[in-house]
Amino acid sequence: MADLDQAAASVRSSAPANLLAGAARLFDYWAIAYKRTWKGSVISSFVTPLLYVLAMGVLLGGFIEGDPAKLEGATSYLAFVAPGMVAAQAMTTVFGEVTYPVMGMVKWHKSYYGMTASPLGVPDVILSHLGFVIFRVATTCAVFLAVVAPFGVFASVPGVIGAFFVQLLIGAAFATPIYAFSAGLKDESAFSLVFRLGMIPLFLFSGAFFPVANLDRWMEVLAKLTPLWHGVDLTRMLTLGEVDWSMAAVHVAYLVTLTLAGWFWAVRRLTRRMIS
């Protein structure tokens, strides 16, 4: 009987019809989960960006000359670093939401098994979870942008709105492949390497805090291959009001391609994990 149930879940996971409708049926689950946990992050959501802005942008920025030629068009270090910090916030939020939480849904409290025991399939479960992750990215980045806005570092309101939607794309580009990686793991031991060798180097060397042109040539090329650099550069273009539309199209294409590739990998990995 268990084999039949697993086979049925696998068949349902391959059916593309009504994917959004299936994911929407889990809205109550994620709404209740957020209702029970949001208080744990509400203070840090406001305090963390404010401290980053004051420490990195105002205090450290006071020692850095605001030369647009050296700061990719920014007239101050604060204007340069603010979009980088917002994009980095989107990335770090995703790392926190699709590593241990995904492991928990599969291994510890096994919520995914209960979900797929219903008419829902694996893609429905993944889409609903990723939808919650993008919601978390949206809330944290909206707060970050709101905290930074009074410092006068944004060129225009449309640019800020565009930058906000870029954060959602950054979140999706990181969420799907990291979700796929987490979904196939047998235990959580690999997560320490994910954070130490993945998130931290990306956070430091993807152009968020200094131009990647300051790196050695091979490191600059490597940095420009990372999704965070594409997100940071696109965010900075919009907030500074200096958009290179051809380069912006490259950034969007890169992030969308990574999102789609990660999605198909996630469906494959979680399906195999659920029936193993």
| Residue 2 pLDDT > 50 | no
| Residue 22 pLDDT > 90 | no
| Residue 70 pLDDT > 80 | no
| Residue 13 pLDDT > 60 | no
Helix (H) or strand (E) holding 244: none
- pLDDT at position 65: 67
- pLDDT at position 17: 53
| Residue 49 pLDDT > 90 | no
Burial class (CB in 10 A: 0-12, 13-18, 19+), 66: middle
Q: What pLDDT, in 10s, does the model give residues 223-253? A: 999 999 999 999 999 999 989 999 999 999 9
DSSP 152-179: S--S-HHHHHHHHHHHHHHHHHHHHHHH
- pLDDT at position 68: 66
Write down the pTM of the prediction: 0.89
The alpha-carbon radius of gyration of the chain (Å, integer) is: 20
- pLDDT at position 262: 96
Helix (H) or strand (E) holding 201: helix 200-205
- pLDDT at position 164: 96
Q: Name, in order, each residue with C-beta under 8 angstroms of 126's C-beta and a sequence gap of 6 or more.
A: 179, 263, 266, 267, 270
Token representation of residue 103: 């492991």
Helix/strand/coil percentages in the chain, nearest 5? 80, 0, 20
For residue 30, the SS3 value is: helix
In terms of phi and psi (left: phi > 0; alpha: psi -120 to 50; beta: otherwise), the region of 73 is left
Sign, CA dihedral 14-17-19-21, equals negative
pLDDT band at 4 (very low <50, low <70, confident <90, very high): very low
Q: What pLDDT, in 10s, does the model give residues 101-151? A: 999 988 888 888 888 888 888 999 999 999 999 999 999 999 889 888 888
